[in-house]
Structure 1
Amino acid sequence: MAKFHTYSLNNTILISMQRPDATLVTGYERWKSMGRQVKKGEKAIRIIAPAPVKEKRQQKKLDEENKPVLDENGDPEMEEVEVPVQKYKVTNVFDISQTEGDPIETLDAIELTAGVENYAEFLQAVGKVAPVPIRFDELTGQTKGYFHTVKQEIVIQKGMAESQTLKTAIHETAHSLLHNKEKMAEQEDLKNRQTKEVEAESVAFVVCSAFGLDTAEYSFPYIAGWSSGKEMTELKASMDVIRKTSSNLIKSIEKEVQHLLTEKEKQKFLDAHTNNTISFYVADDMDYPISGDFWEYQTLEEAWDFYQKHLGDAVHGLRGIGFQLQDGSDYIGMEPLIKDGMVQIEEINQKPYYRDHPLV
C-alpha cells in the first residue's frame, strides 16, 4: 500500500465522483513500474496535482549580514533570483480495475488497528467538545457507533482499537454538531443520509490527520461509497461545512488535550513527590520573619484570613505572607509571597525552581 498515494480530501471526492468503485489509484507510469498496463480504451480519472515552478524575480541584494547592498549612489542594488511558486495542474490517474498485469497485493477497507499517543487525553478531549454525552456499549453487526438524535447521545462499540475508537468518536461528534434534527429544521437544511455520512467521515479524516492519525484506508472507501452519484455543487457545499467544522474541532480538541496533558504532568510530579509539602506563614517583618511575631498555617486560605484581619496590628508595618517548601531540594526555607501589600511575582519567577514547581 505504500506504493499508492494518500490523496487529499478534494481529490478523494473527485475520484469517487468519476469512479465510485475505485480502490487503488495511481498514475500511468507508476502502474507500469509495478508490472501492470492500463487497458486500452480506459478513461482516465482526472485529479489535481501540485506543479511547482520557479519564476525569476527582481529583489534587493543582501550582504552576509542580511542587509541591503547599496550602490555608489546609496540606492539598494537589485538582483535577479529564482523563486519557487506553487501551482497546480490536472493530471490523470487510473484505478487498479482499469489495469491488467502482475498481481498486486491489495487491502480492502479494514478496521483501523493502530495505537494513538496520548489516547486517553484525546478521547477525553473529544468527549468534552462533543455537545452530547458519549458512552460505550456492545453493538450488533458492523456498526462502529451512532449518534442517537432522540436520546441525544453518542454510542461507540466497545473493544475497538484506539485509532478506530477515536476516529469513530470524532465521526459521531461531527454528526451531533451538524446533523441534529432540530438544528437542521431551524436552518431549513434537511440533508439526506449520503450528505450526512460524507460530511461526518470527511470531518473525522481531516481532524485525525491534523493530529497525525492516518485514517485514509478506512475513510477513503467510506467517503467514496457515500458520495457516489452526488453532484459537484452538492459536494462543494459540503466542503465548506467540512472545512469550518474540522477547523473548529481541531482548535477545541487541541486546547482540551493541552490542558489535560498539563494536568497529567502535574499529577505525575505530585505522585512522585507525595511527601512534599508547602506551608504558609504570616510575619511582622518579612525581611527577618523569625525576629518578630510569626504565625504558621497549613493553607494559604488560613494565612490570608489572618493577614486580612490583623493587617493593622503590625509593629513594623511590613507584615506579609510567605511560604515554605519542603521537598528535599536546596530550596527549603522561607520565601516571601506578599510583602508591603504586593504579591512578589517577579521575585518568585526569577527562581525557576519556584516558578515551575506545581505546589507553588
Structure 2
Amino acid sequence: MKKRYQPLSEKERQQKTEEYFEEIVKGVRGILTDEKYKEYLDFSSKLPRYSFNNLMMIFMQNPNATFVAGMKTWNGFGRKVRKGETSLKILAPIQKKFKEEKENDAGKKEMEEVTRIVGFKIVPVYDVGQTEGVPLPFNPIVPENVEPSDFAEKVYNHLKIKLNDEELPVTEKSLDRNGLYGYYSPTEHSITINGDHDITNKLTTLIHEYAHSIFHSPLGKYRESGKDVKETQAESFAYLTCKYFGLDSSRFTFPYLASYASNSDQLLLKHQDEIQKETNRLITKIENLVLEKEISFDVPVRELADQQAESTISLYRFGENYFVTKNIDETHMNNIEAIRSQRDCILLETGNKAEALTLFNQERVHYPDNAVNKLDEKKGYIHLYQVKNEELFFIGRSGFTGIKRLSEIMRDQAVAERQFQQAIDHVQVPKQKEMELS
C-alpha cells in the first residue's frame, strides 16, 4: 500500500527551521575564521538577490551552485528537474495578515490590514545543473564577459553623478600620499577619489568608500565600531559588488577576519545580512543606470534559445546588432567579425530587434506559457496558439514545461483555425467509429 504524504505539524516545522538556523551559525563560524571567506564571497556574488541565511544554506549544500530556482520556475523556463536529483533547502517567510488600529491623516482611528512575517518554512529549490531541457536565455543587464575597463569607462561617471545628486558629495583630486586610491570622510560625509589612477581603479575605490559611507557615517549604525569590523564590512561589500560586475577589487585584502570572527555568532549573522542587503541595493542602482542611460557593451549576449533535437536556435545581441543563429559555436564569438565568419550558422543579422524576434519565434519549437495565447476552448492537450504580439499561429501541445509546436507556423489565422479543426477531427474520428461499431 502506497504511503500517504503527511505534512509536518507546526511544531515539527519550527524544530526543522531552528535546526537549519543552527547549521547556518556553524557555517558562519567555519567560513569567517579561515580562507573560505573569499570562496564564500565569490559564491555569493553569483546570487546577490538571496538573503544571507539562504546563501549560507545553498553554499553549505552546493558551493558550486550558480542559478537556483524552484521546480515551478524551472518549468516556466521550459526545463525540468532530472529524475533522482536531491533538492536544496532554503527558508521562505510565512506571512499572515492582521488588522491593526491606526490614526488616519484626519486623526481618526480606523482599522488597517497589515502583513507580517510570523515564521519561516523550508522550501525545495534546484540548481540549473540539476535540470535539463530548453537552453536558458543568457540576458543579464551587464554580461559576464565585459572588459573591466569598458564597464568602468561607461559606468563610473554616471554612478559618481548619481551619488552626488542623491546621497553624498563625490570629488576627484590628486592625493599626495603614495598608494592612496581614495577615502571617505565621516566629518564631511563625502568621498574623495584619487584622480591620478585609471578609471577601473576609480570605480572599485568608489564602491569601497561608498560602503564606508553607508555603514560608518556620523549617523551610521556602525560608526563606533572598531577598524576590524569597518574594513571587513567595506571589503565584503566592495568585493561582492565588483565581483558581480566582473571587476577585480583584490587589492583590498581581508586582514581583519580573525578579530572580526571573535565576535558573537549572532553579530556575524547580523553584519553579513546587512552587507548582502546593501550590496543588492547598489547592484540594483548600477543596473538601473545601465538601463536608464541605455548603455550597451560589445559582447555577445544570448537573449533567447531553443533546443530542437540536435539543433540549437538562438537569438543573440551584440551591441546594436541582432543575430538569429542555428548551431553557432559560442567559443568563437569574441567579436562581431568572429560571429559573421560563421555565416552558415546565421539565419539573420539585423539592427531591428522585432524582426529578429519574429524570425526566432518562427524557428523555435518550444514556447513558455507566457509567450503565447491559447485561441480555443477545446478540452485536451492539443490547442491552437498565437505567439504574443505576432501574427504567428500554430497547433501545439501543452505540457508542464510549456508549449511544444506540432505544426508549421502559419501567418493566416483563418488557415490556422481550419487546420486545427482538421487535426481535432482526425483525433476524434477513431473514437466515433468505435462507438458506431459497438
TM range (shorter): 0.3 to 0.5
